[in-house]
Structure 1
Amino acid sequence: MTEEYTQLVEQLTQTALDFSLEILAALAILIVGIFVAGRVAKYTDKLLTKSGKVDTTLKPVIVKIIRYTIMIFVLIAVLARFGVETTSIIAVLGAAGLAIGLALQGTMQNIAAGFMLLFLRPLKVGEFVDADGISGTVEEISLFITHMTTVDGLYLSVPNSKLWSATVTNYSRNSKRRTDMAIGIGYGDDIAKAEKVALAVLSGDSRIHKDPAAQIIISGLGESSVDLNVRYWTDSGDYWPTLSDNRRAIKEAFDKEGISIPFPQRDLHIISDVKAKA
């Protein structure tokens, strides 16, 4: 009896010792894993900041993904120390991920589109864009939605998948932009004189680029006017101010030079077949 008791104590002691060693090994793996995950995440953040090529919105997402990925492998390694079948865990995680992906298909599309927007950057924070009728200044690009502000101060919350599938016109990306200003003059006015007066007005505006030079073409012969298209290049930020200022200046210059800007009109011919009564 005493011998059996001694053997049982020895077995329990050995089991406790082995289990304690496994716990210590698991704790060591966990501590080292947390340390490595933190160091790698910190190094990645520093590397992305130094490169300057990654969007500020995307940077913390990349850092978190790297940290969590490392921690998942660390937890699997910890469970393996206690004899847990890791292949089963991986299979369960894969199945759970697939189920979640199917349940959140629309959300996953927005996340995927968010990554594409952040990586390829067809639009960035601070830029004014139009995406199939959705226009405004980009305030923030998150993984799910993009926040925008319209020209009249309204807030827009646009799903990333909608922006990614749209044709995006970016009005801020290029440093310069061409302005096309439509002006009509009367058929009785001198076209060459009108062109000379308009170009003189444009030459006095320092915001208008000299190269390429401003030009005026006849875009059409309307019902009431000869249609001119005044073209010039400015910095993108000067587009609207120069358009408004030069419209006013050209109108005033035309008035001074006696060049008319006609309004739509119709000539009516009344034909009567009523014979005068005798």
Structure 2
Amino acid sequence: MPDLNALEQYLPLIIDYGTKLFLALVIFYVGRFVVARLVAVVQRVMLARQMDETLVKFLCSILNWVGLLFVVIAALSQVGINTTSLVALLGAAGLAIGLSLQNSLGNFAAGVMLIIFKPFVKGNFIDAGGAMGTVDSIGIFTTVMTTPDNKEIIIPNGAVIGGNITNFSARPTRRVDMVFGISYGDDLREAKTILEEIIAADERVLSEPAPVITVGSLGDSSVNFLVRPWANAADYWGVLWDTTETVKLRFDEAGITIPFPQMEVHLPQPAETKENA
């Protein structure tokens, strides 16, 4: 009989804790299901708005963990555990982690801005973060580029967003800026005619906007022509290099010289030398 009395004495307590434990399990499993459905809906909405897939996965992962954290806290609270201190502990831990990872968080924020505002996309040739190359990937924390000599550069997104970004692939056409100098004694009109013929003969040069060929300045040792044709972005380097080579060959054939830098030095005569003269 003492066993029955003990059972009768603890039965309400067992039922109470059993009920709380059952409700906590229900809260946990139902809450996990609700969080999963909510994350799936948010993911579909963001993908429907054509947001970057990498950013969508990262944000959904954060939303999933935050939701599960609230579910666990609610389940523990149902069991009777005081979650106030737990929440305070998690808050303090989050603050400490945030302070220790502030540079990484800055790179993360910069990565989000790059993905949302898209100043460049994969495959663009850019100059950013102190490096120049073709964009291979835009991650949450870093941007990966390949240089023209096939080197891989990994740049923190904070460095990319914190400076000027030059996107050479943003426009379908580019202007090729070149300067050619001739001697003061050469025929100015003949040199200009040769430059016009070279530009007109290149099929890669666009007719609109019209190329500019004009005398840009009278330098210390040369008359400088500005040659500025327009070409498709993919033809930029070809037009630049081929035109430079052709100009040199045509100028050589016509006897037009591209002068070296020169300087005239005038030495004043001493006063005694002038009197003797």
> Which of 64, 67, 71 is equivalent to 1:67?
64
> Which of 23, 26, 37 is equivalent to 2:24?
26
CA distance in 2, matches of 1:206, 1:18: 88
> Which of 34, 44, 47 is equivalent to 1:46?
44
CA distance in 2, matches of 1:196, 1:264: 24
Look up the SS of the partner of 1:228 in the other structure: strand
Work out whether 1:166 is the aligned partner of 2:175: no
What is the one-letter code of the residue matched to 1:178? R
- Normalised to the residue count of structure 2, the TM-score between the two structures is 0.83
Change (3 A) 1:264 1:31: same
Counterparts in 2 of 1:85-234, with a 5 A limit? 85-131=82-128, 133-234=130-231
1:65 Cα deviation (Å)?
Answer: 1.5
Report which stretch shifted further, 74-83 or 125-134: 125-134
What is the one-letter code of the residue matched to 2:227? V
> Which of 14, 30, 35 is equivalent to 2:33?
35
- The aligned counterpart of 1:247 is 244
Alpha-carbon contact 1:199-1:215 (below 8 Å) kept: no
Change (3 A) 1:108 1:256: same
1:49 Cα deviation (Å)?
Answer: 3.0
Identity %: 38
Change (3 A) 1:219 1:132: farther
Change (3 A) 1:21 1:196: farther
1:267 Cα deviation (Å)?
Answer: 5.5
Look up the SS of the partner of 1:183 in the other structure: strand
1:258 Cα deviation (Å)?
Answer: 4.3
- The aligned counterpart of 2:12 is 14
CA distance in 2, matches of 1:71, 1:111: 22
Aligned length: 272
CA distance in 1, matches of 2:196, 2:174: 18
Q: Deviations over 1:41-97 (max 9, x none)?
A: 333333333322x23432221221222222122112211211233443322221111
What is the one-letter code of the residue matched to 1:111? F
Unaligned 5+ runs, structure 1: none
CA distance in 2, matches of 1:268, 1:96: 73
Work out whether 1:261 is the aligned partner of 2:258: yes
Alpha-carbon contact 1:131-1:166 (below 8 Å) kept: yes
> Which of 62, 78, 81 is equivalent to 1:81?
78
Look up the SS of the partner of 1:229 in the other structure: strand
1:148 Cα deviation (Å)?
Answer: 2.4
1:22 Cα deviation (Å)?
Answer: 2.7
What is the one-letter code of the residue matched to 2:134? T
Look up the SS of the partner of 1:192 in the other structure: helix
Report which stretch shifted further, 9-18 or 214-223: 9-18
1:26 Cα deviation (Å)?
Answer: 2.3
1:243 Cα deviation (Å)?
Answer: 0.9
What is the one-letter code of the residue matched to 2:13? T
CA distance in 1, matches of 2:37, 2:83: 25
Alpha-carbon contact 2:129-2:155 (below 8 Å) kept: no
- Calculate the aligned-residue CA RMSD, in Å: 2.9
